[in-house]
Structure 1
Amino acid sequence: MPDLQPCPLQSDPSSSCPPDGRWQFNTNVVFSSEGLLVARYHKQNLYFEDSFDTPPQPEIITFDTPFGGRFGLIICFDILFHDPTVTLVERGVRQLIFPTAWMNALPLLDSIQFQRAFSLGANVTLLAANTRNDGLIMTGSGIFTPFSATYHHAQPGDPEEGRLLVARVPVLEERADVAAKVPSPSFAVADHCAKESCADLSADPASTSFISDMMHDPFTFVLLNKMEDNVKVCNGTFCCQLQYKWMAQSKELYALGAFSGLHTVNGRYSLQVCAVVRCASEDASSCGQKVEEAESRMDFVLEGRFDTKYVYPSVLVSPMVLEQPEQLEKTEDGRVAMKHGSMSGGLITACLYGRAYHLDNE
């Protein structure tokens, strides 16, 4: 809901107070079961919201419940930024409330895709309620824990306007060091890493890399043109490694992409991303474009060595179905690896989405 607050226009002319002497905030409110207002949060990271103001200081708002401990509040675009989202997590909050009006942006930022990725990467429970607006490609809500996902992703033309989601979730123990932990056990990355460091492997000289835009960023791609292979692609000094084997393959074209840099379109934030994507056609120039369906399935290990500990993993298969990675591993030197197989549908995207929050303002 919107919240109107008076601000000190006369007493503090140097403040961010608008000329009319009032702030208008995009706001979460929380009521107890007795009907009492117990929490109010003003959105920090606005997304083309000319009617609203940014609060003078980021608000770190939590509330306690008798059934599940502490919950934290964020809104929509906040989930991509350090404040307040990561600050809440680093202070030990393990449950986040996330109302949103999220415009799906394949292949990396579909609603349920990133909701799931954040829950896994931050090791938290995320209660995500998206608005439904087919004209703006807004759909996809869920209840996500580090161990489970209950969600609904309506397709355009579906007659229903929404769906009630109910899930039994664990009460996660509060921890101050929860950031960048993952619940899955570590694993020994496939045999090709046993004898030498994956980060030191040379790219196959037959695999020519190329640049193609994905989500408005210039990714470096290499095609996956063998039945099974171990490939590497680098964007500057940042490199991604993929060991894969096709279990079912159609005539679809796939590529491994890497990007490290500042994203500047519809928001400004620093990224390091490793992603396997299905290209939109059999032309390499289509790699990175929006794809919603796929038939090809692979077993794979995807990994990169990141300059940030904040890496969010996801596997999205056709028809817009999330899969839990079989195993995840993070090491102190920044290496993140995701292993997965036995897919239920064709692979749309497998992604390690790294956020270098510390570089956002550079």
Structure 2
Amino acid sequence: MDSKRLLLLCIIQGLLCSVGYSANLDYYTAGVVEFRQSILGLDAWSENLEAYVEIIHSANASATDIIVFPESTLNALGSTTFVPSPEDGINPCLNGTHYEEFLVTLSCAARNSSKYIVINLTEKQKCEDTPDDPRPCASNGLNIFNTNVVFDRQGVVVSRYRKVHLYAESKNLTYRPELVTFETDFGVTFGQFICFDILFYTPAHQLIVEQGITDFVYPTMWFSQLPFLTAVQIQQGWAYAQNVNLLAAGASRPSVGSTGTGIFHGRQGTLTSVMKHDNGERAIYVAQVPKITRRGRRSLQESRQTAASTNFYMMRDALEIYQTQLLQLDVGTNGSSSGQICQGSFCCNYEVAWRERESPVNAKFYSYRVGVYDGVRQDQNVDANYIRNCGLFACLGPAIEECGLLPEEGVYPQSPVIFTQLVIKVTYPESREFLLIPDTLRDNLMPLEPSQFEWLQEQSSKESYHHEVSFSLAETQELDNLLTFAVYGNYYDNQCTFGVGTEQEQLACGYKGGSSSLRSLGLWLTLMPLILLGLRSR
């Protein structure tokens, strides 16, 4: 039966057959929520809950199969709740004796709306329920977790995930990192992770490598950081690099740097996204998400906004640790520039061309630097990850201290030229765990779409332990509002990276052909059993 006839039959028979219909479609309908949490009192969960339920039952959400809410916008330490184990198949709406009101209410909302609902909450768990954890327990006998909870269409808790990489949070870590997935009746299996987890191998990248997961739910309260790690910028870049569907729901309070929500379809780019520049909002963004198993291109719905206002607080990367050089761009000229910049043995090659632009008298201009960095991200009191970054970024003045900043109130800088060509070429060492991400940003705090750039990552041969990356602005594109154009090389912990460590460590990682000495040692290790066998047979 074709999809049109099946849809007609569903309409005739009513909504009960909507599940079977969605399973036969080549897409599902998802909603992600940008949510401004209440700040009335220390723990205003009641107001947040009321707004959650209103969104779930709103007209905009009516067609959705699954809705994802953001991180840390429901409850807090003052109103923690127990969460049933998914293995127990508990429906808090029907059996809510042991759970807080908001968990029961949202279970009922999932049941009444017949939708999968993903929430993030502050969970409590009795330490006695984790007998395999040898660590000392808190004096109150409880563990406190940053937790995702998934309800199915009946309100049953079908999945629970506890955040692995906390960002300066006074909560517990699981004794062992969790790899959590859940299946749906519309034929898609989802992985899940939370906020800061996106920058690490476990669990996000690991679920793709080990289990082949293609779709992810991602609650976040991201605090954007210029020039490489603003929210939608890294969400879209990660989904593109992994070629997966990402449903990202962001907390919405731009005045403290938190916003960023979107739905991303792998190499095809953004289906819908938002970066709020005002006081934040409570809104759901909905898109039809093509299933990865059936490759298809759908029209993209890119959110367009004006340049960021000063109500947006922005963190800044420690750019002083980068090796950088100022790009000479003369106002009112056409020109080009190319070169190489290195930090240690890690080098970045760039080519830039531009044409002149008309600018108002006394206009404020950005300056630009090309930078490269090979080392650990310097972010205090949180899990560290190793990066190899190379790219171009905007500055409010010529000094490095003026880079990675938003302008003052009423000041709207612009590029002194219109970029007609941007090319970055880098050779990256292979690693057992690494991810290379196209990392772009315009002055409205949105990234370029895949149709606007060209990305090529390849190895010169099967035996090569190097990846050649060429990242360029598409030939049809010109840019006059650029903040970042870079390759973000995430090496997680930098273990098992070719060229790092002793020869023995390299061999343990599987690199047996990287250098003449390694080749020789690897050959001897391979031939030694054969040689000994030959000697014994004589």
In the other structure, the counterpart of 2:389 is 273
In the other structure, the counterpart of 1:346 is 481
Runs of 4+ in structure 1 over 6 Å off: 9-13
Q: Take 1:311 and 1:301, find their aligned partners in 2: how far apart are those partners? A: 16
In the alignment, structure 1 residue 244 sits paired with structure 2 residue 370: no
Q: CA deviation at 1:217?
A: 5.6
Conservation of the 8 A alpha-carbon contact between 1:273 and 1:352: yes
Conservation of the 8 A alpha-carbon contact between 2:124 and 2:142: yes
In the alignment, structure 1 residue 323 sits paired with structure 2 residue 452: no
Q: CA deviation at 1:101?
A: 0.7
Q: CA deviation at 1:305?
A: 1.5
3-state secondary structure, aligned to 1:165: strand
Shift in CA distance, 63/5, structure 1 to aligned 2, threshold 3 Å? same
Q: Take 1:165 and 1:360, find their aligned partners in 2: how far apart are those partners? A: 39
Shift in CA distance, 68/286, structure 1 to aligned 2, threshold 3 Å? farther
Q: Take 2:242 and 2:147, find their aligned partners in 1: how far apart are those partners? A: 24
Shift in CA distance, 68/348, structure 1 to aligned 2, threshold 3 Å? farther
Cα shift readout 1:30-58 (whole Å, capped 9, x = no counterpart): 111121111000011111111x1000011
In the other structure, the counterpart of 1:222 is 325
Q: Which of 269, 283, 290 is the equivalent residue of 1:148?
A: 269
Conservation of the 8 A alpha-carbon contact between 1:277 and 1:287: no
3-state secondary structure, aligned to 2:153: coil
3-state secondary structure, aligned to 2:438: strand
Q: CA deviation at 1:7?
A: 2.1
In the other structure, the counterpart of 1:335 is 468
**Alignment map for 1:182-197 (pairs within 5 Å):** none
Conservation of the 8 A alpha-carbon contact between 1:297 and 1:347: no
Shift in CA distance, 117/40, structure 1 to aligned 2, threshold 3 Å? same
Q: Which of 242, 248, 251 is the equivalent residue of 1:122?
A: 242
Q: Which of 439, 463, 479 is the equivalent residue of 1:314?
A: 439
Conservation of the 8 A alpha-carbon contact between 2:442 and 2:448: yes
Cα shift readout 1:168-220 (whole Å, capped 9, x = no counterpart): 2211139xxxxxxxx9xxxxxxxxxxxxxxxxxxxxxxxxxxxxx94356001
Q: CA deviation at 1:103?
A: 0.8
| Paired residue type of 2:269 | S
Shift in CA distance, 155/12, structure 1 to aligned 2, threshold 3 Å? closer
Conservation of the 8 A alpha-carbon contact between 2:385 and 2:493: no
> Which of the two has higher C-alpha Rg?
2
In the other structure, the counterpart of 1:99 is 219
Q: Which of 147, 171, 179 is the equivalent residue of 1:60?
A: 179
165-174 or 25-34, which deviates more: 165-174
TM-score (norm 1): 0.81
In the other structure, the counterpart of 2:281 is 161
Q: Which runs of 5+ in 1 are unaligned?
A: 175-182, 184-212
Conservation of the 8 A alpha-carbon contact between 2:320 and 2:400: no
**Number of positions where the alignment pairs a residue of Structure 1 with one of Structure 2:** 321
% identical aligned pairs: 28
Shift in CA distance, 319/345, structure 1 to aligned 2, threshold 3 Å? farther
Cα shift readout 1:290-326 (whole Å, capped 9, x = no counterpart): 2476434322111211234411112211222321242
In the other structure, the counterpart of 2:205 is 86
Q: Which runs of 5+ in 2 are unaligned?
A: 1-120, 298-315, 330-334, 360-364, 408-412, 460-465, 502-538
Cα shift readout 1:38-90 (whole Å, capped 9, x = no counterpart): 1000011111111x100001110001123251111101111111111111121
Conservation of the 8 A alpha-carbon contact between 1:58 and 1:84: yes
Shift in CA distance, 13/75, structure 1 to aligned 2, threshold 3 Å? closer
**Alignment map for 1:5-44 (pairs within 5 Å):** 5-8=125-128, 14-15=134-135, 17-44=137-164
TM-score (norm 2): 0.56
3-state secondary structure, aligned to 2:241: helix
Shift in CA distance, 263/13, structure 1 to aligned 2, threshold 3 Å? closer
233-242 or 261-270, which deviates more: 261-270
